[in-house]
Amino acid sequence: MSTTTPAFEGAAIEPGVLPRLLPARPLRTIAGHVEHYGPVPQRTDALILEIERSGLKGHGGAGFPTGVKMQAVAQRRGSSVVVANGTEGEPASAKDKTLLSIAPHLVLDGAVLAGTAVGAREVVVCVDRAFPQIAEIVAAAIDERAARAVDPLPIRMEQAPHRYIAGEESALVAWLNGGDAKPGFVPPRPFEKGVGGRPTLVQNVETLAHVALIARFGAAWFRSLGTKADPGSALVTCTGGFARTGVSEIPLGISMPALFRATGTEISQVQAVLIGGYFGTWLPPDALDSVRLGSASLRTQDASFGCGVLFALPKDRCGLAESAHVTRWLADQNAGQCGPCVNGLDAIARAMAALVKGDRKGDAARHLDRWIDMVKGRGACKLPDGTARFVESSVRVFADEIRRHKRNGPCSACSAAPLFPLPRVGGWR
């Protein structure tokens, strides 16, 4: 496979053009899928190299380079397993469900191609059991491929528990192995010892859909959108106070003003935007003018792209009360395994609730920093770190609200919280 010539001549998608992952109509049959994207590539001998050249990073939250992960699994001895993570437990995110409902075969292509490249013996697609309509679409796509003998590897689907923590890769692997969906104390990591004790490549379903396109059209095609540091496109879920909410595909590196224009929203209409979902960072309006949606630019604001959630906080909402609600939700997601997470996150959530009430004695404000420091890096998974990061940005961006609540008690907007909705599957593009 070359970096300059598309692997598949007659590419349906021109370089530099969107959409890539979200076609105008759902493509749920093999025929419609192949007509739009071209045949499923058969050769995967140079795929890992091509993925490395593409600069593809994971879309499940951590943004880890996909080629490096694939290489690590390919280098292990014995056959491996690919897990396509479509559980999407982040409440504000709808991109994976949308992708699976519109282009299920793209995800399956990517999973099988990645599997063949890393020497896998099977592919397991995990979806959230609370969304049977998505499971139905994925199951039908798998059945059609099996009936037509499309793939060199068997694919099965599993419906994971509807819990945030179940989407964490070691929790998912533990559950697939018959245990509870709780994160494991590492090592071994799934890439060393995962499903059935085999090296396991866990990738987000969006990441795998990009793999399917890079296998068809090559790394240079992938890089024809995005920036050098953040190549390609990404699915985002715009929710909260955007004039148009839903899932869309953007070129990575797009400026926030351009994204706001695409959603028909004025930056002046919002108080702040939470970038990256519940593990994310609030950005105030003055930061939005200059920031771009890519890891390089977001890093300058101590933010990251995460799973592509953008939550706009309207002017008439209380950012402190909304943040306290999210903090409580995050604290309640703990898997009951690590003391600092179980007790520390609960204490942090109580402190946030106390700040909303006014924290007259100043106890909450006094202890919050210490509790945040206490939980960082102290869990088997990133729930404590993600929560700490979210709370730190909340108290930074809503410092004025904290002072106002201290002076006057809860504001009139507090009772309207929470706003954070579960976006519907589908959406604008």
Ligand X SMILES: Cc1cc2nc3c(=O)[nH]c(=O)nc-3n(C[C@H](O)[C@H](O)[C@H](O)COP(=O)(O)O)c2cc1C
Min dist. Cβ of residue 164 to ligand X (A):
6
Q: Which residues contact 242 (CB under 8 A, 6 or more apart)?
A: 260, 263, 264, 265, 310, 312
**Taking contact as CB under 6 A, which single stretch among the options 159-167, 230-238, 344-352, 368-376 is the one that binds ligand X?**
159-167
- State yes or no: residue 277 binds ligand X (CB under 6 A): no
156, β-bridge pairs: 124
**Which one of ligand X, ligand SF4, none is in contact with 164 (Cβ closer than 5 to 8 A by kind)?**
ligand X
Q: How far apart are the first and last CA of the chain?
A: 32
Q: Which is nearer to ligand X, 320 or 381 (CB)?
A: 381
- State yes or no: residue 88 binds ligand X (CB under 6 A): yes
**Which one of ligand X, ligand SF4, none is in contact with 263 (Cβ closer than 5 to 8 A by kind)?**
none
Distance CA 248, CA 237 (A): 7
Distance CA 92, CA 89 (A): 9
- State yes or no: residue 383 binds ligand SF4 (CB under 6 A): yes
- State yes or no: residue 337 binds ligand SF4 (CB under 6 A): yes
Q: Which is nearer to ligand SF4, 21 or 335 (CB)?
A: 335
For ligand SF4, how many residues bind (rule: CB under 6 A)?
A: 15
Classify strands 270-275 and 309-314 as parallel, antiparallel or unpaired: antiparallel
Min dist. Cβ of residue 341 to ligand SF4 (A):
3
Q: Are residues 326 and 278 in contact, defined by beta-carbon separation less than 8 angstroms?
A: yes
Min dist. Cβ of residue 243 to ligand X (A):
27
Min dist. Cβ of residue 175 to ligand SF4 (A):
13
Helix (H) or strand (E) holding 323: helix 319-332
427, β-bridge pairs: 246
Helix (H) or strand (E) holding 109: helix 104-118
**Taking contact as CB under 6 A, which single stretch among the options 54-62, 102-110, 117-125, 253-261 is the one that binds ligand X?**
54-62
**Taking contact as CB under 6 A, which single stretch among the options 72-80, 320-328, 332-340, 405-413 is the one that binds ligand SF4?**
332-340
Distance CA 334, CA 326 (A): 13
- State yes or no: residue 183 binds ligand SF4 (CB under 6 A): yes
Residues 365-394 that bind ligand X (CB under 6 A): 381-383
**Residue 389 is encoded by which pair of tokens?**
């990061």
Exposed, middle or buried by CB within 10 Å (0-12, 13-18, 19+), for 99? buried
Q: Which is nearer to ligand SF4, 302 or 332 (CB)?
A: 332
Distance CA 231, CA 157 (A): 30
**Which of 166, 341, 354, 356 touches ligand SF4 (CB under 6 A)?**
341
Distance CA 382, CA 78 (A): 29
**Helix, strand, or coil here: 64?**
coil
**Which of 338, 354, 356, 372 touches ligand SF4 (CB under 6 A)?**
338
- State yes or no: residue 384 binds ligand SF4 (CB under 6 A): yes
**Taking contact as CB under 6 A, which single stretch among the options 166-174, 336-344, 363-371, 391-399 is the one that binds ligand X?**
166-174
Classify strands 80-86 and 200-204 as parallel, antiparallel or unpaired: parallel
Q: Are residues 352 and 391 in contact, defined by beta-carbon separation less than 8 angstroms?
A: yes
Min dist. Cβ of residue 96 to ligand SF4 (A):
21
- State yes or no: residue 120 binds ligand X (CB under 6 A): no
**Which one of ligand X, ligand SF4, none is in contact with 207 (Cβ closer than 5 to 8 A by kind)?**
ligand X
CB atoms within 10 A of CB 289: 11
Residue 377's φ and ψ, nearest 5 degrees, are 70, 15
Contacts with ligand X, residue ranges (CB under 6 A): 58-62, 64, 85, 87-90, 164-165, 167-169, 202-204, 207, 381-383
Contacts with ligand SF4, residue ranges (CB under 6 A): 165, 182-183, 334-338, 341-342, 379-381, 383-384
